[in-house]
Structure 1
Amino acid sequence: MSAPVLKHTTAPVVVAIGADQRAEGHIREALEAAGFAVEILSRGDVVDAVERARRASAQAPVIAVVAVGTSRADLRRVLRAGASGIVIDGQLDEALVPTACAIIAGQLVVPPALVRQLAPRALSFREKQILALVVRGYTNRQIADTLFVAESTVKTHLSSAFHKLETRSRAETAALILDPVDGYGLGVLPIAESETEQAA
């Protein structure tokens, strides 16, 4: 199926490039051929480019072009910064113009593979229990005593949770859980209350 083409229109769209910036000419040519008035921002990382695009053209929707392997955290930052669509740099030919058409119509466009990546990874009940106590400042030994498990079990579940949350320390994990935007607080913090009440 050929890409949709908008005829006799100059719908504005801003492209923030966080991938191979050598693709800028190809991106401009493809969008202008489809009838879009294009502005491209490619200096700095893609989140910075999206933020500058929102400031420069508040009314024009922004497409973020990202590299394969962009982290989940950066993808979330791109959307929070104001991107209306995300295109993977290896899919420009088939996805760029359809994405531009969709965001002009008011849609949010994220490739299916990235939707799965953006979704929070499910934590097990035990991981939530342990993380809830980490947020409260408990040591591994205190968590083990509270939950009546071995300290090695606590370490195993913490390691698994760190991997799922893409964090590297207790402090970073606690900050993520408490984050009002990206946090897991609603799924973690209530457990702390029940566990500490049982331990009291």
Structure 2
Amino acid sequence: MSSIRLMIVDDHEVVRLGLRAAFELEPDLNVVGEASNGAEALAKMSVLAPALVLMDVRMEKMSGIEACREIKSRYPDVSILMITSYTDDEAVFASMLAGASGYLLKNLSRSELLRAIRLVASGQSLLDPALVKQATTRLITLATAGSQTHVPGGELTEREREVLALIARGFTNKLIADALYVTEKTARNHVSHILEKLGLARRSEAAAFAVEHKLVPPREQRKNEEY
């Protein structure tokens, strides 16, 4: 029987060592490498050629969700299991949209982890059907909004509409990055693109635009002059 090629991605060395130790006695599991963040994992993909990536959610340089999105885009046959200490509904949703096959908490038992890895490696998904339904509903809503929303200078992408709504709620670039599980630089770039497409100069103007076009309820608008 061929072994399952695993890559472990976590920003804590002790976690990586612990996971590797948990797999050492399993003849069907082969840890081919490790990475301390999403960017490093992405850079090692072509060399290590893992079949399954065990990915932490929150990491510096590139988050697990952002890395998951990039890996699935370039290596669609690779399975990705997100593993985290946080019970965050938004992170579960973002992981699912990024293409992850499952979302696990780090407090699970060794036997549960091994079972999850083998299930995902066999092509099964560990995503809750209720979450799939929720994601489908949200995607339909976003697609409908996208087909009806026309803005001066071009159309905003789904991601840019999400960022615009967060700007209207007073989120800084750092908070936007945390909410969407992207880097702060990526969030800053989204803000710049939004302002350029809307022909605006300041975040406060973008927030007013979002309220005017009913992208967020008026009561949620907060003044935010940071740029």
TM bucket (normalised to shorter chain) is 0.3 to 0.5
Name the larger-Rg structure: 1
- Highest relative contact order (Cα 8 Å, sep 6+), 1 or 2? 1
Q: Normalising to structure 2: TM-score of the pair?
A: 0.41
Q: Normalising to structure 1: TM-score of the pair?
A: 0.45
